[in-house]
Amino acid sequence: MEENGNGKGSSLRWWILLTVIVGTFLGRLDQTIVNLALPKIINDFSITVTAAGWIATAYILANAVFVPIWGKLGDTIGRKKVYILGFAIFILGSVLAGLSWNLSSMIVFRIIQAIAGSADYPTAMAILAVTFREGKERAQALGIWSSSFAAAIVFGPLLGGPLIDNFGWRSVFLINLPIGILGILMALRFINESRDESLAQKDNNFDWWGAITLGAMLSALVLVLDRGSDWGWLSAGSMICYFSIITFLGLFIKIEHKALEPIVDLKFFRIPAFVNALVNNFVVFMGMMGGVFLIPVFAQTFLGYTATESGYLFMPIAVAIMIASPLGGMLSGKVQSKYVIFVSTLVAALGIYLFTGLDARSTAFDIMIPLTVMAFGLGFGMAQRTNIVASVVPESEIGIASSILALVRNIAGAFGIAIFATILTNRIDTNVLVINGFSKLFSHVPLVIQKYIVLITLKAQIDAYNYVFLIASIIVFIGSFTILFMKLEKERTDIKVQVE
């Protein structure tokens, strides 16, 4: 039976939206809260900060690898099935993580969480795309859904701090159980199954070899991006990763050209609007994530903020995105998407540029105002970026297309963080030499010499941070112009979905 893409009827479309928001909110909330819990976990397990880094690295690796797989499975066997399966496994992984007894068990259970959590984005976006068929309304729905990412940023520190302080770090995992059960019940009640019947009849042709080679390539890529600065970019470990990336990428492309049902349809990359949207997303998220990840480090190092206080600085991001995302979605059909994205990216670049004035005397408002400007810019074009991808690919492959978008954003973020961390380190070393060369000290008193060294180092570090923010703003600024080259035909609004 075919319906007009409204699921169980137009009166329930917004319940479907609320349902996927619960799942998206829970997944992002977990990532935010767990970061706050790391100090307690380090203390309980008696591990080093470096060792604890693998808790995050393992999650990022598993999440990146399985996003495309879940997207393809959703298009093939049914998005509702995949959505609920991912939700259920995520709850199981959360409970197990809350019961973990050492670092090894924690990493295993976080991998389970990440594998399951990666099902949310591609299936949720596909469910919304086939539920809200009309272009303007769909953009509005995607904008509201995008705001749930921001809401998680707000409630992460607000819920995480009290939970950890009063009930211990295990509570941040166990809290997922009641919220997760509610999300599953809502999915069972409100979401109808949707899939492409032509793909469903070819289940036996699932591209397992493509999934394996893609997973191996992504694992090597994310691993070297996350650990390359510690290992050394020309170290043996990094070289092995580079070789693995090239080898598995070549194998993956060869396999996809021959696969009956490729896990990533390479024909997508012949669609100019799709490629342009990916390029814009990569450049923008690389610049933004590469610059913004330094903010909490700056606040704690030079302004004396605690980890929780640093987390509160990011609350304006959530408010700005929650306001801007629906507003940007409302412009769909009134203003061409590329112009909305262009302006929003320029605003985001301005927000990042405002960070270049930070120094040791900066206040909380000196950080929160640029964050607000940057987040508003990001949120204003978020629905438009997502909607372009949903509009230019076949309806049957919206899930895998959205998973590619999510994958590009994740890789761009990791790429930006790795690059800018290296730039920061190198710039500090250069600044120390330059500043010292232009400085004179007319004293041999040890205490004065010590203060002299401290001041030079402080100046070198702050100038290096400002340099990174400048580079990040330039990258995002340049990235804004890439979208202007996009040629998008009239948005498809005749989506039909096979409903069981």
Label the pairing between strands 2-3 and 194-195.
unpaired
Give dist(CA 18, CA 355) in Å, integer.
Answer: 35
Asked if 473 contacts 287 with a C-beta cutoff of 8 angstroms, the reply is: yes
Question: Which DSSP category does 193 fall into?
Answer: P
The closest of 460, 478, 240 to 359, measured between CA atoms, is 460
CA-CA distances (angstroms) from residue 42 to 103, 106, 112, 159? 9, 11, 20, 20
Please report where in the chains the tokens 């995008």 appear, as a residue.
146
In this structure, what token pair is assigned to residue 378? 């990001």
Domains of the chain, first to last = 2-207+260-499 (1.20.1250.20)
Cα 202 to the chain's mean position, in Å?
32
How far is residue 477's CA from residue 284's CA, in Å, rounded to a whole number? 8
Which residue bears the tokens 């949310």? 120
Phi, psi for residue 73 in degrees, rounded to 5: -60, -40
Q: Look up the pTM and report it.
A: 0.69
Quickly tell me which residue has 């996003």 as its tokens: 67
Q: Is 327 left (phi over 0), alpha (psi -120 to 50) or beta?
A: alpha
The single residue listed with the structure tokens 């923008």 is 284
What's phi and psi for 361, nearest 5 deg?
A: -100, 5
* CA–CA distance, 325 with 327 (Å, rounded to integer): 5
Query: Which strands form 194-195's sheet, in the order they lie side by side?
Result: 2-3, 497-499, 194-195
Dist CA 330 CA 321 (whole Å): 14
pLDDT tens for each residue of the chain, 500 residues long? 334 444 345 567 778 888 888 887 887 777 777 767 777 888 888 877 667 767 776 777 677 777 777 777 777 777 888 888 888 999 999 999 999 998 888 888 988 888 888 887 778 877 887 777 666 677 677 777 766 766 676 677 677 777 877 888 898 888 888 888 888 898 888 887 766 655 545 555 667 788 788 878 877 887 787 777 778 888 888 899 899 999 998 998 888 888 777 777 777 788 888 888 888 888 888 887 777 777 877 887 788 877 667 767 877 877 887 788 778 777 776 778 788 888 999 999 999 999 998 888 889 899 999 989 988 888 888 777 777 777 777 766 676 777 777 778 777 877 777 788 778 888 888 877 777 666 666 666 667 667 766 677 778 888 888 998 999 899 889 888 888 877 655 444 333 333 33
